């Protein structure tokens, strides 16, 4: 009898501890995703941004694309071309030759392009400082952090202003001067209405939760969990398949691992072998994906291979659905026999 009483006392304490840990983890994850004012769109690979740069003009034979919205520039040249990108002072910065790609360590751009935090260039570097070339690739394409693109994101904008300004990068192509030209556009945060689905889903879940029907809880939680897993697959697939400038092997591996985990959880759910713990796992997965995609609800441009309306709907549904599913998971934990 004493053992049974101890178990009854332990179970509520265990559940409260699990819930406290879950909430602390959620808060920490949310704080980790809150950007600082100086790098509001993320220092490396943002999911969403309020600024977007585009290339509008390149010298003949050169390919150039903006990577990660407005942070990096990718350039590709013909194998036999001799092309030099100049830094903002006119010093040689990146050089493409038939032998590959080299960068000049005596260019101020070398230090300012460091990721995630720019370095302070040594004093005395000028456009006439002899180059110190460092070979970085045997290919004919290279991507780097380009300050002349995202410098425009620091200027003040008039209310409603969309076009921020032009940027220009001088190049020397086979001994002739040229310029890569582009512009930067601004799009403000979307309406706060996008957060309403989160509240609506929670209210509906609470209404069903208060009915205290085991059969209803089981059916709703099953279909909600399957829906969230499907949305995670679509939403994270859109994120991982967003090319920068092409889809990387690492992103493909991440997507395959994610799909494998989702398939394993969905298989157990469809097999009827699920309860509170498995539902909590599905809720955590959905919350992780929702927090990852959260910037699309607070920024104007989404760097996801999906229409902006679709990815915002997915993000809002994942956030509200994950919290709703957690309610049913806790209810099922209460029903586990002591």
**Are residues 194 and 324 both part of a single domain?**
yes
297 and 330: one domain? Answer: yes
Q: Which residues of the chain have a pLDDT value below 50?
A: 1-10, 13-14, 17, 20-21, 24-25, 27-28, 31-43, 337-338
What confidence score (pLDDT) does residue 7 get? Answer: 44
- Residue 87, classified by CB atoms within 10 Å of its CB into exposed (0-12), middle (13-18) or buried (19+), is buried
| Whether 74 and 177 share a structural domain | yes
195 and 274 part of one domain? yes
pLDDT at res. 23: 53
Domain boundary among 129, 152, 186: 186
| Final residue before a domain boundary, out of 156, 186, 216 | 186
Altogether, the residues listed in the chain come to a count of: 338
Q: What pLDDT score does 230 carry?
A: 96
Q: Does residue 226 sit in the same domain as residue 280?
A: yes
Domain that holds residue 263: 2-42+189-334
**Segments in 100-213 forming alpha helices (H):** 108-112, 147-150, 196-209
Assess whether 245 and 272 both reside in one domain: yes
Where does a domain end: 147, 168, 186? 186
Q: Are residues 101 and 136 in the same domain?
A: yes
Same domain, 97 and 24: no
Instruction: Provide the domain count of the chain.
Output: 2
Tens digits of per-residue pLDDT, 104-115?
999 999 998 888
**Residue 17 φ/ψ region, left for φ over 0, alpha for ψ in the -120 to 50 degree band, beta for the rest:** alpha
Are 65 and 77 found together in one domain? Answer: yes
pLDDT at 42: 46
Rounded Cα–Cα distance for residues 233 and 230 (Å):
5
- Of residues 16, 10, 18, the one with CA closest to residue 281: 18
């Amino acid at each position: 009898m004493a053992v049974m009483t101890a178990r009854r006392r332990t179970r509520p304490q265990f559940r409260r501890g699990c819930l406290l840990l879950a909430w602390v983890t959620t808060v920490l994850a949310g704080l980790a995703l809150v950007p600082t004012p100086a790098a509001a769109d993320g220092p490396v690979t943002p999911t969403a941004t309020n600024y977007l740069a585009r290339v509008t003009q390149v010298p003949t034979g050169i390919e150039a694309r903006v990577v990660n919205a407005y942070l990096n520039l990718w350039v590709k040249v013909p194998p036999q071309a001799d092309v030099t990108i100049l830094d903002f002072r006119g010093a040689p910065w990146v050089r493409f030759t038939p032998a590959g790609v080299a960068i000049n360590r005596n260019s101020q751009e070398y230090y300012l392009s460091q990721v995630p935090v720019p370095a302070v260039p040594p004093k005395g570097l000028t456009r006439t400082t002899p180059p110190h070339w460092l070979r970085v690739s045997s290919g004919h394409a290279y991507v780097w952090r380009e300050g002349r693109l995202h410098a425009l994101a620091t200027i003040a904008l008039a209310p409603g202003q969309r076009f921020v300004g032009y940027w220009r990068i001088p190049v020397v192509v086979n001994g002739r001067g040229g310029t890569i030209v582009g512009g930067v556009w601004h799009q403000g945060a979307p309406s706060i209405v996008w957060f309403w689905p989160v509240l609506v889903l929670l209210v509906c879940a609470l209404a069903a939760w208060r009915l205290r029907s085991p059969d209803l809880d089981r059916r709703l939680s099953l279909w909600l969990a399957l829906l969230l897993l499907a949305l995670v697959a679509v939403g994270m697939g859109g994120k991982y398949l967003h090319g920068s400038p092409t889809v990387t092997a690492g992103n493909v591996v991440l997507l395959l691992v994610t799909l494998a985990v989702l398939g394993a959880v969905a298989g157990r759910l469809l097999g009827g072998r699920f309860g509170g713990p498995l539902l909590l796992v599905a809720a955590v997965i959905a919350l992780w994906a929702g927090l990852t995609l959260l910037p699309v609800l607070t920024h104007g441009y989404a760097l996801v291979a999906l229409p902006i309306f679709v990815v915002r709907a997915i993000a809002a549904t994942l956030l509200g659905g994950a919290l709703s599913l957690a309610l049913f998971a806790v209810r099922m934990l209460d029903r586990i026999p002591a």
